[in-house]
Structure 1
Amino acid sequence: MNEVVSIDLGSNSFRVLKYDCRNEKILAEYNEVVGMADGLVETNRISKDAMQRVIEAINKSVEIVNYDTKKAVAVTTAAMRKAKNNQEVLKYFKDETGVDFTIIDGKEEARLTLLAVKYALKREKINSSKFILLDIGGGSTEIIVNNNDTYKSHSFDFGIVTMTQEYLHYHALNSDLEKRKKEIKKYLDSLEINLDDYTFVATAGTPTTVAAVKLGQDFFSYDKDVVNGTIVNLDDLQTCLTLLSNSSKEEITKLVGRGRVEFIEVGIFIYQAIYEVLGKSESIVLDDGLREGVAINACLKCKT
């Protein structure tokens, strides 16, 4: 297999990648916000509107990326794990588009994301021996502690979409974040590691958005090649929050893209909370994540 197409259907985003296995290069990609977890907190179900948005996104991606949906390696994560009607939804997607999604658990999500990040760190010529990886998703947040060739991971049951839906007022959000910080600290303490020995690395939409804002980019001028490897510090987070609070909805949409406006502030608060737990003042931001990991993993399987 020289090429592979991977699909990552998250709680908010739909991401497709065509990958050249031999040369380890991206050939084409497609991203769209589909809001699959909309209403999930209240109903525990994927809505018909969300299902239709995914179908339309798949069809658009086929036009742009040009791939056989039946051959795509497709995964889906937290929202689908939680939805009571997940099997019905997945059958509908397969019947309508040919894409056969696999629901992966938090451990596999962490493994695949870590695989992508290790490749990215090597590409960016950044030391990849000891680092703590943060992956803020729509329905879950993954913390991965990498120590050379071994790692430990934990999937925490909160993300930018579900937390936004659950908490509409900052004080309620702040209170819950304090509980989440204790939960994460307890996990890290159980590993008995010295956090000072580990670099802080962050991936997914919130960190890349903050990095893009720092670089003067917006949604329409976003350049992941420039974003990759960007150092984001706590002041950058505060600058981004201030900018958001002083901007209109239209201005924020231009900055972060449609479908992300209502979630980005909560995402930054989560990001900030992890800084505090780790006792870090800066992180390295990478655009590479689950879909890249799925593609690389498929390539590696073919070589063995």
Structure 2
Amino acid sequence: MKNEVITIDLGSNSFRVLKYDYLNFKIIDEYHQVTGLADGLIDSGIISFEALNRVVEALCIAKDKLNFNPNNAVCVTTAAMRKAKNSNEALEYIVKNSGAKFKIIDAEEEARLTLLAIKYALKREKIDTQNFTLLDIGGGSTELTISFEDKIYTKSFDFGIVTMTQKALKDGKLFEDLRNQEIVIKEFLATLDFSIKDFPFIATAGTPTTIASIKLGYSYFNYDKNVVNGTILDIEDLENSLKLLKEKSLEELVALVGKGRVEYLEIGTYIYKLFFNVLEKSKSIVLDDGLREGVAIDYALSLK
């Protein structure tokens, strides 16, 4: 098929691949895997050899499943590579062992591309809103973007589910960290010269989609993004998620949310709750679309 592009988003915890029909703006196929790129980053400051090998292995599996040449893929990577002291060496290792050439994008570009995907998703889901607040909870950073009358206001916060979990395990100061981050978020919101009180609160990435999936009665193994897209969550749904994590065994949780996700879901839920409270929202719309879709749409638009 000539009119297709492969886009790859290598995040701090997840590896997501999309095969996209850029003429008709349609998803052909996709693949995702937890690679844990940021494992140990908070302590060492580097991307580990083990994590790089997991990425190379994931690329090999994705290449076979989606039938593509990694050399031709449009590949981006985010917070973990931005933070790592050995990012150049890490990227060289990946290209040498897989052929995939990753570009480190900054937080502003990450937010722009994710927002692009969300705008298309809102049209697809027939959610008619020009003004909205978008939360993207990543592994190494968290982005808050306000779309208001064709203008974009975005802030990347230096915490994510992986880095905050690892820091909390190390120093035991999770709730102190959350309180400190609340101050930083409020400082950003104070710079806005308009009210976001009536703006829909949209959330993307693994934590919101996982909580939505659980609410709908799905598990990791029968996850259906078409059902999850547009799901409404409230604070009670987040509280139920935290309760579930305490009540279920590790084996049950892995079956429910997938390997490599269980250990970060609690912190992710606390981060999600933090934004619910700071933004003073009673509900949130969940969308599965994110960076890899944004990269694909951006590629398609560049050809017009």
Question: Is the shorter-chain TM-score for this pair beyond 0.5, marking a shared fold?
Answer: yes
Indicate yes or no: 2:229 matched with 1:231. Answer: no
Q: How does 1:63-102 map to 2 (within 5 A)?
A: 63-102=64-103
Residue range with higher mean Cα deviation, 138-147 or 89-98: 89-98
Distance 1:223 1:189 in 2: 38
Deviation by residue 1:144-192 (Cα, 9 ceiling, x = unmatched)? 0001321111110000000000002896211110110111111011112
Is contact 2:25-2:300 (8 Å) kept? Answer: no
Aligned-CA RMSD value: 1.1
- Structure 2 counterpart of 1:5, one-letter code: I
Distance 1:169 1:268, change over 3 A: farther
Deviations 1:255-301 (A, max 9, x none): 11000111000000000000000000100000000000001101111
Partner of 2:19: 18
Deviation at 1:68, TM superposition (A): 1.4
Which residue is 1:207 aligned to?
208
Query: For the residues of structure 2 that align with 1:155 and 1:66, how far apart are their CA atoms?
Result: 34
- What is the TM-score with the length of structure 1 in the denominator? 0.98
Q: Residue 132 of structure 2 aligns to a residue in which SS?
A: strand
Is the contact made by 1:118 and 1:128 (CA closer than 8 Å) also made in structure 2? no
3-state secondary structure, aligned to 2:303: helix
Who is 2:259 aligned against? 258
Aligned residue number for residue 55 of structure 1:
56
Q: TM-score, normalised by structure 2?
A: 0.98
Superimposed CA distance per residue, residues 40-64 of structure 1 (whole angstroms, 9 cap, x where no aligned partner): 0000000000010000000000011
3-state SS, counterpart of residue 197 of structure 2: helix
SS in 1 for 2:298: helix
Aligned residue type for 1:73 = V
Q: Name the residue aligned to 1:36.
A: 37
SS of residue paired to 2:5: strand
Extract unaligned runs of 5+ from structure 1: none
Contact in 2 for aligned 1:128/1:148 (Cα 8 Å):
no
Residues 118-267 of structure 1 mapped to structure 2, 5 A cutoff: 118-168=119-169, 172-267=173-268
Give the distance between the partners of 1:22 and 1:265, measured in 2 at CA. 40
Q: Structure 1: which amino acid aligns with 2:247?
A: N
- Give the equivalent residue in structure 2 for 1:108: 109
Q: Does 1:290 align with 2:291?
A: yes
Tell whether the 8 Å contact from 1:10 to 1:77 is kept in structure 2 after alignment.
yes
- 1:196 Cα deviation (Å)? 1.2
Letter of the 2:15 partner, please give it.
F
Q: CA, structure 1 residues 231+248, in 2 after alignment: closer, same or farther (shift >3 Å)?
A: same
Q: Could you list the runs of 5+ residues in structure 2 that have no partner in the other structure? A: none
- CA distance in 2 between counterparts of 1:200 and 1:102 reads 30
Match of 2:272 in 1: 271
- Is the contact made by 1:16 and 1:291 (CA closer than 8 Å) also made in structure 2? yes
In structure 1, distance between residues paired with 2:4 and 2:70: 14
SS at match of 1:134: strand
Where in structure 1 do 4 or more consecutive aligned residues deviate above 3 Å?
Answer: none
Aligned-pair CA distance for 1:240: 1.1
Residues 170/227 of structure 1: CA separation in 2 closer, same or farther (3 Å cut): farther
Which range moved further: 255-264 or 165-174?
165-174
1:193 positional shift: 2.1
**CA deviation string 1:100-152 (max 9, x = no partner):** 00000000000000000000000000023110000000000000000132111
C-alpha separation between the residues in 2 aligned to 1:117 and 1:148?
15
Shift of residue 85 of structure 1? 0.5
